[in-house]
Chains A and B, each alone.
Chain A
């Protein structure tokens, strides 16, 4: 259009525009939902194919999921008859009354009912610790660290295990179960693995041969053995070799096994971060007179850990799901309590197992996705300095 106007100009001026053209809205296909679709979902033939594929997959899965979990689900009832197609004469989806009835068991396991307030208190304290540590702008985070790593473990032991002198009857760990065990095992693993892993990673890169050798042997040995084997050995073979009164508690065995395991994996993750830091950083730190620990604490580790956040969280998520392996030593974690409950003949129906596993999937998804989102937020915040 502009060109044709220019052609006219040379011949005869018929019209001179005095005011600039009002800005036109961008073409409809470039903005709004349509534009977003074009830019993000349909920009190339490959993208179109992917979009169609995913859409088909969703169209196939989502309605089925909604149908099973909500539309056809049974919400109230007293026993298996409520969830039986042959009794109700309709399509039956998830059997939620089974979950309602078994919920306390999924959370506390066989923990004695009059003592369950202790578990609730522990959950509350754990929530405070997590919030304090994870909220980066929280007041007195130094106090938070002290609370989470010193106060909380002691209180948790006193509360959950019980100390008869404080009027809290001892609750054998055989009775612990459900979400309680999953959270205890996961928190201990997560809290122990990072410090231990950093130590091992530094040890493996140390100039002292003995330290380096020990760290390397430990990491390679632990990584070379399946966790399931370690737990099985701890539960089956250990009692044969040590007298009964020396035998550590079953849950403690599992906790130690998982903490050592996670720390070996974490060591390699941290080592990758250490190796990614340019030599100049080490040399610069040494040049200004920092000793080894100060250099690590002030210069190297803050950078190395930031780089490795995705991998650290990856290890944590793996660890969270590995907690299900404690069933090998006869401890009923969350998944195991669901497995046990689905066998109960009171609720024996074709949908009981599926409902139980769906709940397990949702539980693990919520926790793992939560960790993943949080790490993305932390990464974004720590990377703010570099994005300019």
Chain B
């Protein structure tokens, strides 16, 4: 009840804000994109040793800045906690929220947000010791599972075991850190969290190679950028920046060959890079908006590999995040 009341109030504020929303103009006048990010999630949003922000979500923000300003550094990252991220977006404190936020119906509607796409298909997975000789989550009947308290992860876990008629002994902890420590110390047979988190946590174990992540993904966690209701132009821009990155990968345009690709005769490439048509102007940007994104930040594949894939310590397999024509489900509508 209380929660609903809060949602209604926040929704009302979002509505009040949106009436006068001209986000692109505000951003251009300010000369800076303000992006709500995580700040404490490896691979998605984390400052490095020089204090420079890195991560998949962070690079999506950089791509938006690159498309608008032709400068990927004209972006200010505001670290947000899971609690205050939606308020920050609704109140206009940030222009766009790219903070490993799961796209759900209630967030898309009653919270007054618009999700613009999916930059990472995540889902809950399991990690077990290799010595347990378990190859599937369905063999976990009667296993004890370390999990963080009060999260959707904990609920998904119970649902999954009940749905498959398996006995569950869940061992809950207040923080993810404690749960991992306990798993490493042998208090549970398995540890569960989102698959991207599993990869990062595995590195922290005493012997990472003694542990394996099971193939089953038991929940859908599509993570993507979100904007406020009520500014369709801004919604389009954020949506198409991500689509452009995915299209660039599909058409083989990357940060190294983008200048050669400008001479390409492939009509799809010509439309994407703005050598034909005026698709950038239709968005309120410039003709070369995709060139800027790809040159300064990279295409989706480059960004993925650099932050969470083979080019990073996380070494997460692309899995569902492969392009639709490579066995995954990353698919972007065409630029035309």
Contact = CB atoms under 8 A, between A and B. Distances in A.
Given A177-B51, A330-B79, 18 more contacts: A80-B203, A101-B49, A102-B49, A113-B51, A235-B84, A239-B87, A240-B87, A330-B80, A330-B81, A332-B39, A339-B40, A340-B46, A344-B46, A344-B48, A345-B43, A345-B312, A348-B200, A350-B184
Contacts of B4: none
A330 B93 CA distance: 12
Interface in B91-124: 91-93
Contacts of B47: 105, 109-110, 332, 340
A240 B204 CA distance: 40
B35 to A, nearest CB: 11
Contacts, number: 98
A109 B51 contact: yes
Contact of B13 (A104, A108, A235, A240): A240
Interface stretch (B164-172, B205-213, B243-251, B254-262): B205-213
Contact of B50 (A104, A174, A350): A104
Interface in A170-202: 172, 174-175, 177
DSSP majority for the A interface?
helix
B207 A111 contact: no
A344 B42 contact: yes
A350 B202 CA distance: 10
A387 interface: no
A86 B91 contact: no
A346 interface: yes
Contact of B207 (A85, A175, A240): A85
Interface string A46-60: 000000000000000
Contacts of B91: 239-240
Contact of B40 (A177, A340, A348): A340
Interface string A110-126: 11010000000000000
B25 to A, nearest CB: 14
24 contacts: A86-B206, A86-B207, A110-B47, A111-B51, A113-B50, A172-B76, A239-B91, A240-B87, A244-B92, A330-B78, A339-B40, A340-B46, A343-B42, A344-B49, A345-B43, A346-B313, A348-B42, A348-B203, A348-B313, A349-B203, A349-B204, A350-B205, A350-B206, A352-B204
Contacts of A346: 313
A348 B177 CA distance: 12
A345 B78 contact: no
The CB with the most chain A CB atoms within 10 A, among B39, B47, B81, B90, is that of B47
Contacts of A315: none
Nearest to B48: A344
A258 B91 CA distance: 24
Contact of B204 (A110, A175, A177, A350): A350
Interface in B290-328: 312-314
A341 B92 CA distance: 29
Contacts of B93: 239, 244, 247
